[in-house]
Every structure is written in C-alpha cells, then in structure tokens.
Amino acid sequence: MASYRLIYFDFDGGRGEPVRVAFHAAGIEFEDERWTFPEFQEKRGDTRFNAVPVLEIDGNAFTQSTAMCRYIGRMAGLYPEDHLQALNCDEVMDATEDLTHIIVRTFGLEGEALKEAREALASGWINTFLNGLNELLERGGGEYFADNRLTMADLKTFLIVRWLMSGALDHVPTDIVENVAPALVTHHDRVSADPIVTAYYASRSCDG
C-alpha cells in the first residue's frame, strides 16, 4: 500500500486544504505535515519550485495543487469521469488558482502600498473572477460546478470564498462576495454543510 505525505502550511485553508479533504473523503491515511511560515522560509529551497504544497507518494515528490486535486479527487470520487464534466471542473479549479495567485502577489506589501493594491484588486480582478465563477456555477446548474454533485471544483471555490469573507485580507471588504456574486455565498454554505466537509473538520476538532 502506498504511503502519502502532504506538506503544506499549518492552517486550515489555502491550496493544500482541498487535498486534505479529499484524502479524508477517500479514507486514505496520510501524513499531514504542516509548516509554520518561518519553517517554510527555511525549507522552501528543498522543494522543486520553492513552493508548497508538496505531495510525497512512497517518497517521490509531486507538486502543483490542482494536479493533486485531480489525483486524490479521483480516489475520493470527487472528480468527474465524464470528459466534459471534468473540463468544467478543471476550468473552475484553474480559475481559483489564478485568483489565488493574484491575491498572493500582494503578500509582503505594507501600509499604503498594501491598501492601494488590495483596493485595486477589490474593484478589479476579484470582481472579474467572482463574476466568472458565478457564470460557471450557473452553467453547472446553480448548485454545483460540475456533474451535478460535489467535486474538487466546489471545494476549491468554497475555500477561496471563505477566505474572501473571513476578514483575513486587509482592505478587501468581507461582503464583497455577497455584493458581487451572492450565489457563491449560497454555494459556500451548501458546501460547508456537506457531510464530506463536515466530517473532515469534525476529524480536525477531534485531533485537537
């Protein structure tokens, strides 16, 4: 039996979180190695692209979070078998990656520079991506993005919407999703109540 180790930051969210949820949904044991940000700065040079997440399978390292989502998502039954539905799923996952990348580029800024950059995002690219994801949700039928059921696309979108609404991003209004694409808030609530998601976070609570 293969052994798995997922290396990512020590918080519940971000690019590694959908993979964690999928592992749990598939019933696959894995080592959930969580780095603090100082540890990441110290160890990132040992990773292939100076980045996490990194998935090790039997000691072999793999990168790129969306590739991991597809791989573990298939094992968990959270990735479509139909090629067109898989394309729907992939489009959403790639869009959330693009949005994440745009936001992450503001990390490290401070003071007025951070304020200007985040306000520009809030009135520009974030709106663009929220509107686009809203269109993709409508295309999928209004409840899920692909296959009329929960897939990795829903998990990735749920997590980035949660991030945008959390208040963790200074100068990004916490009601931006509600104002721009309220259907994504409804989608967020639907996914957060899904048994797969609630079971994962219940297991996290049990872990202490």
Q: Which residues pair with 9 in a beta bridge?
A: 35
pLDDT at 142: 98
The SS3 of residue 83 is helix
* Cis previous bond, 53, omega within 30: yes
At 153, list the tokens: 């696309």
pTM to 2 decimals?
Answer: 0.96
Domains along the sequence of the chain with CATH: 4-77 (3.40.30.10), 83-194 (1.20.1050.10)
Residue burial 105-123, b: 16+ Cβ < 10 Å; e: rest: ebeeeeeeebeebbeebbe
pLDDT in tens, 41-78: 999 999 999 999 999 999 999 999 999 999 999 999 99
Residue 208 pLDDT greater than 90, yes or no: no
In this predicted structure, the answer to whether residue 93 has a pLDDT above a threshold of 80 is yes
